[in-house]
Amino acid sequence: MPKESQGVSLDGQGKPLWLTLELTYRCPLKCTWCNNPLNFKDYEKRELSTQEWKDVLRDGRALGALQLGFSGGEPLERDDLEELVAYADEIGYYTNLITSGIGLTEQRMAALKKAGLKQVQLSLQSMHPELTDELVGAKAHARKLEAARLIKAHGLPMVLNMPVCRQNIGQIGAVCEFAASIGIEYIEFANIQYYNWALLNRDELMPTRDQVREAEAVVERWRREQGEDMTIYFVVPDYYESRPKACMNGWGAIHLTIAPDGVAMPCQEARVIPGLEFESVRDKPLSWLWHESPLFRKYRGLDWMPEPCRSCPEKEKDFGGCRCQAFLLTGDAANTDPACSRSPHHHLVTQATSQAGSPVRFRKPLIKRWDNGVSTAFMED
């Protein structure tokens, strides 16, 4: 997890260095930026069994995967999580649990550590209980704080992840203070990327440029104060940068995601792009899916690029940006990511950012996942 300022591009030498298992789409929260599908119950019927997940883990190691993220939905919804962690540890993965903290009890924390879990990434939206609960659509704040204390009490390294939006960007200092008080080693302030439900709520979620700059200044103060005791990442929203991020270090370069139904994907968002052929580990060997499938070869490397990416001297830094964002904003996943100032579609991003900074804006309620368009209004204080 390099600092955003380093611009590091990893060469996986054709290997999926980072494997993410989306064990389930079930989740107790209803976040207003959620990327998981609404028909999660359909996927629940098709979730891989414990043995099928073990087969994926074994095959992933054979491909060269080293880093492993247990994700979701909420991975704690799976009763076999501890068994999967133990097997992953046994065959040599560095295991990371990516969780909301809901369902993380003393008993489960102890069992996960005993199974060999190496790190936990916990999401926290603010230090105000009402704000956290409103953003995630559940009474979650107190349980998240308790989960953070449990993780540290058991001596595990921890990444505290705060999805940053207009409503909570002023909480960055308070979150740093909490993290320092209990000895958290890493904080990631990840400005929300606008896909799926976040795109639907973009006008209300996007902070202004001034808010982002103020937040960066707060992060810098905390970096100076904490020194080497805490590493703080601040991921700037690419809408406010002139170049897109090197999404997943390039399509099919180092990241391999397996969905609950066994579908292999280059990233967790890829299913938003129509016309792609998604295949499952139940039907094809993982090695073939990674190396040979049309899906992974579609935007891998540089040959697929249109202009202006094809002749851009920075194409090996950002790989054309995000294919999912290109599709969602322009209707064609092969287009240059509109976050890039050289993109012919960059005006779509500048229009959005100018509206975020408008002093007079029509305020709308945030629409939460599963609400079917019905939501209680949440306005800033």
**What b/e readout covers 194-206, taking b as 16+ CB neighbours within 10 angstroms?**
bbbbbbbbbbbbb
Q: Which amino acid type is present at position 178? A: F
Beta partners for residue 18, in sequence order: 67, 255
298-326 residues labelled b (16+ CB within 10 A) or e (exposed): bbbeeebbeeebeebeeeeebbbbbbbbb
- CA proximity to 62, closest of 28, 13, 15: 15
SS3 58: helix
Whether 165 has a binding-site annotation, put simply, is: no
Q: Is 34 annotated as a binding residue?
A: yes
The secondary structure of residue 157, as a DSSP letter, is: -
Helices (H), 249-381: 286-291, 294-298, 315-318, 323-330, 347-356
Residue 324 annotated as lining a ligand binding site: no
Q: Where are the beta strands (DSSP E) in 165-283?
A: 186-191, 231-235, 255-258, 264-265
In terms of Cα–Cα distance, which of 227, 149, 206 is closest to 182? 149
- Rounded (5°) CA angle 237-278-88: 75
- The two tokens of residue 130 are 């009402």
- DSSP for 290-326, please give it: HHT-HHHHHS-SSTT--TTTTT-TTHHHHTTS-HHHH
Backbone angles phi, psi at 8, to 5 degrees: -75, 135
Q: Partners of 235 in the beta sheet?
A: 190
Q: What are phi and psi of 240, to 5 degrees?
A: -105, 10
DSSP state of 263: B
Please state the residue numbers annotated as binding site for [4Fe-4S] cluster. 27, 31, 34
Please state the residue numbers annotated as binding site. 27, 31, 34
